[in-house]
Amino acid sequence: MADPTGDPATRDRPGTPTWVKVLGIAALVLALLVAVLMLVSGGQHGPGMHAPSGGAGGQTPPSSGPANAGRVGEPASATDAARTVAVTTLDTMVFEPGTIEVAAGEVVTFVVTSNGQAAHEFTLGDAAMHQERAAAMAHDLPNSITLQPGETKELTWRFGDAATLEYGCHEAGHYEAGMRGRITVG
Ligand SMILES: [Cu+2]
């Protein structure tokens, strides 16, 4: 359309109109911004989950951690724990003790020992988390530890508001057989 040799009004325009250049730069800046935003949001994915390593191919359900944090609590550092509670798993499908009382907001380290011939686990949570755990069968959830016979492992938990929680073993058939205990948070 433009005639470089004709109308003097269009004569002094450069080959590429300024608005095209501006648009190009704007598009470039936008693309960069999007890229940076994607990088940033990618880097923030899944913070603070320090599940014990070793579980192969773990598929942690996204709702098992921070989503329940306010009510159930969250994993904590052992150095923040004010109290240690020893728990033993028995092959008779019971935990010793069978009930534990903690204060709201308290940080407790559970020292769990498997005292028998079978593998057991200690999974902490509310009813929903236990349902999730039973379905997931993943061994690297932050609220769960798995013990081979004779093993002792620790799980430190920062409890939330007053609630009645549960600890249970989700080795095949154990939870159903009654291998669970009650935690009263008050
Ligand atoms: Cu068990």
Asked whether residue 109 falls in the same domain as residue 28, the answer is: no
Asked whether residue 37 falls in the same domain as residue 106, the answer is: no
Residue 110: CATH number of its domain = 2.60.40.420
Domain span including residue 18 = 8-43
Burial (CB count within 10 angstroms: exposed 0-12, middle 13-18, buried 19+), residue 159: buried
Quick: pLDDT tens for 43-75: 444 344 444 443 344 444 444 444 444 589 999
pLDDT given at position 175: 94
Asked whether residue 87 falls in the same domain as residue 39, the answer is: no
Instruction: Compute, in angstroms, the gap from residue 64 CA to the centroid of ligand 1.
Output: 21
Instruction: Compute, in angstroms, the gap from residue 67 CA to the centroid of ligand 1.
Output: 26
Element containing residue 71 per DSSP (H, E) = helix 69-72
Asked whether residue 22 falls in the same domain as residue 89, the answer is: no
Asked whether residue 27 falls in the same domain as residue 78, the answer is: no
With bands split at pLDDT 50, 70 and 90, how would you rate the model's confidence at 146? very high
Instruction: Compute, in angstroms, the gap from residue 121 CA to the centroid of ligand 1.
Output: 6
The mean pLDDT value for 137-141 works out to: 65
d(CA 133, CA 129): 6
Asked whether residue 93 falls in the same domain as residue 143, the answer is: yes
d(CA 75, CA 49): 8
pLDDT given at position 34: 60
pLDDT given at position 134: 76
In a domain, 95, yes or no: yes
Instruction: Compute, in angstroms, the gap from residue 11 CA to the centroid of ligand 1.
Output: 87
Instruction: Compute, in angstroms, the gap from residue 31 CA to the centroid of ligand 1.
Output: 53
Average pLDDT over all residues of the chain: 77
User: Tokens 């009650």 identify what position?
Assistant: 182
Ion ligand 1, residue ranges at CB < 5 A:
120, 169, 171, 174, 179
145, β-bridge pairs: 122
pLDDT given at position 132: 80
The number of distinct structural domains making up the chain is 2
Instruction: Compute, in angstroms, the gap from residue 128 CA to the centroid of ligand 1.
Output: 19
In a domain, 51, yes or no: no
99-102 and 180-185 as β-strands: parallel, antiparallel, unpaired? Answer: parallel
Instruction: Compute, in angstroms, the gap from residue 51 CA to the centroid of ligand 1.
Output: 20
In a domain, 21, yes or no: yes
